[in-house]
Chain A
Amino acid sequence: MIYFVFVVLMGLVVGLMAVASNPAPYFAALGLVFSAVVGCGFLVGYGGSFLSLVLFLIYLGGMLVVFAYSAALAAEPYPESWGSWSVFLYILVYLFGFLLVGYYCYGWWYDFYWMSLDVFGEMSVLSGDVSGVPMVYSSGGFLLLVTGWVLLLALFVVLEITRGLSRGALRAV
């Protein structure tokens, strides 16, 4: 189990390096998909299986469709990726930064503070990750209203910025 979480975390770092170092949105979006998938795997490793599923659906399913459309609009004929030398320089810098922080923090940086979300998995009705969802509707009443208002606001903001029928994009030309 520990090895699974370790592999997933290494995959997360590699995926995020891919996102940060790729100049073309194609491969950066690929890195983002990979990071999100391994992030969901990480949540599963600590017992939050419901939260992992929700993250998978909303983040990947919703956000990535948007990303795919916008990457299709900004297409390049010869996208640069991990094959070229200038991108390799970026990778080296990120790897160096990662190793530096890792060397400094390895073994003692709050690594025993991770708790599993389903400690009483067989003996309780609600685990740690599921019980957050109904809390938004009960004790988080005002927060729910604000969230609903902000969703409506985001709709109006997007419609206003892209001006729907006549223009449809942020670019003004």
Chain B
Amino acid sequence: MSPYVTMILISSLGLGTTITFTSSSWLMAWMGLEINTLAITPLMVKQHHPRATEATTKYFLTQATASGLLLFATLNNAWMTGEWNTMELSNNLSAPMITMALALKMGVAPMHFWLPEVLQGLPLLTGLILSTWQKLAPFTLLYMTSHELNTTTMTILGLTSTIIGGLGGLNQTQLRKVLAYSSIAHLGWMVIIIQYSKTLALLNLLLYITMTSTAFLTLMTLSATKINTLSTKWAKTPIATMTAMLALLALGGLPPLTGFMPKWLILQELTKQNLPALATLMALSALLSLFFYLRLCHTMTLTISPNTNNNMITWRKKPGQKALPLAMLSIMTLMALPTTPTMMAIMN
């Protein structure tokens, strides 16, 4: 694809998210979401093979449905109450519809069925943009309206997401599907805490973006897309597999890695809100996710498969391979737990 077109599409991605961030009217918010959908479509279908075309079509249809539902709900709200402001959504017909529309946009269970198939059809870099950047705009809308949305609905969405994210990832051998189910599970944690503490949800989102970016960038460096291929990648870059193991355990939420921070604070907040049963269920469902992360660590780093290796361990990185983003994100993923008070102060 011509670099001019790529620049137009990437800048439109930025424009769409910025418009949604800075919108006070529902019309502008919807417009930003549509610009995002429109701009990412050619990036997804860049390679023009049937699997990518299928993934792009599925993505476009689900996102268009979600945007249409959002527009319908906000027009209903404008008709009934005359209010176009995003922060003033009175609890009528529109609030549950907006919840469902945003859940479909982000891939929160039970509206998650498109996410594994779409991520599987994409190259890893586009999958990274989809998992991280495309979650920012709908999450912003959820952040702005969460105090008016139905508590029971949000709790059910969050709990279902973590459980389905955990159970669904257990049977996967394709790494992109594993990361899709990981995304669903993490979104469940965000959705469940957003009604009690918006700052914790935002913190969870930002840390999830960091950790997922590390995972995707590592897989891009190792150029591995299945568990089978992952087993021989230790010889390509041993340091990458080692940090990837720790990054996957961070995604699973183990101390002393960064991923423990959001889970710990969320469980603490749920307990403070007198919901110990919910906190227990969330913690137990996180164990399911931890199992498939551990399986990836097992095949990647903790064991050596009995194949003969074709390559020698590379001494230097390949020319043109950008190691700085992966390095920075890995450090953030592994070592940011002691900065918890700072993070809480910043997010507040």
Residues of A within 8 A of B12 (CB): 149-150, 153
**How far, in Å, is B76 (CB) from chain A's closest CB?**
9
Q: Which residues of A contact B8 (CB under 8 A)?
A: 152-153, 156
Q: Are A160 and B80 in contact (CB-based, < 8 A)?
A: no
Is there a chain A Cβ closer than 8 Å to B79's Cβ?
Answer: yes
Partner of B15, one of A149, A160, A170, A171: A149
- Within the assembled complex, what's the spacing in Å between the Cα atoms of A18 and B56? 28
Are B35 and A161 in contact, CB atoms less than 8 angstroms apart? no
> Count the A-B residue pairs with Cβ separation under 8 angstroms: how many?
54
Interface residues of B in 178-211 (CB under 8 A from A): none
Residues of A within 8 A of B28 (CB): 143
For residue A133, CB closer than 8 A to chain B, the reply is no
Q: Is A93 an interface residue (CB 8 A)?
A: no
| Complex Cα–Cα for A155 and B170 (A) | 42
> How far does the alpha carbon of A110 sit from the alpha carbon of B12 in the complex, in Å?
39
Q: Chain B residues near A143: list those with CB within 8 A.
A: 28
Within the complex, what minimum Cβ distance (angstroms) separates A129 from chain B?
16
The interface stretch among B46-54, B161-169, B296-304 is B46-54
Min CB distance A20 to B, Å, is 13
- Residue A157 at the chain B interface, CB threshold 8 Å: yes
Contacts A146-B19, A149-B12 given; does A157 touch B41 at CB 8 Å: yes
Cβ of A1 under 8 Å from chain B: no
User: Could you tell me the distance in whole angstroms from the C-beta of B306 to the nearest C-beta in chain A?
Assistant: 38
Partner of B57, one of A113, A152, A154, A170: A170
Write the chain B residue with the least CB distance to A155.
B8
A contacts with B: majority SS: helix
Shortest CB distance B43–A (Å): 9
Whether A172 sits at the interface, judged by CB under 8 Å, is: yes
* A-contact 0/1 string along B80-100, CB 8 Å cutoff: 100000000000000000000
User: Chain B residues near A146 (CB, 8 Å)?
Assistant: 15, 19, 31, 35
In the complex, residue of chain B having the shortest beta-carbon distance to the beta carbon of A113:
B79
**Contact (Cβ within 8 A) A156 B9:** yes
Nearest chain B CB to A97 CB, angstrom units? 16
Contact B48 A167, beta carbon cutoff 8 Å: yes
With the chains together, A150 CA to B38 CA distance in Å?
9
Structural contact, B57 and A157, CB atoms closer than 8 A? no
* C-alpha spacing A163/B57, complex, angstroms: 16
Chain B 34-68 interface residues, beta-carbon cutoff 8 Å to A:
34-35, 38-39, 41-42, 45, 48-50, 52-53, 56-57
List the B side residues contacting A110 at CB < 8 Å.
79-80
Name the distance in Å between B261's Cβ and chain A's nearest Cβ.
Answer: 37
- Closest CB in chain B relative to A23 CB, distance in Å: 17
The answer to whether A172 touches B50, judged by C-beta atoms less than 8 angstroms apart, is: yes
Q: Quick check: B48 and A157 within 8 Å, CB to CB? A: no
Chain A contacts with B in 116-160, Cβ cutoff 8 A: 143, 146, 149-150, 152-154, 156-157, 160
Mark interface residues in A53-82 (1 if CB within 8 Å of B CB, else 0): 000000000000000000000000000000
Asked if residues A172 and B48 are in contact (CB atoms below 8 Å), the reply is yes
Contact, CB under 8 Å: A157 / B42: yes
Contacts of A173 in B (CB 8 A): 50
Shortest C-beta distance, B78 to chain A (Å), equals: 11
9 new A-B pairs (CB below 8 Å) besides A153-B12, A154-B38? A143-B28, A146-B31, A150-B31, A152-B8, A153-B39, A160-B45, A170-B45, A170-B53, A173-B50
- The residues of B with any CB-CB pair to A shorter than 8 Å are 1, 5, 8-9, 12, 15, 19, 28, 31, 34-35, 38-39, 41-42, 45, 48-50, 52-53, 56-57, 79-80
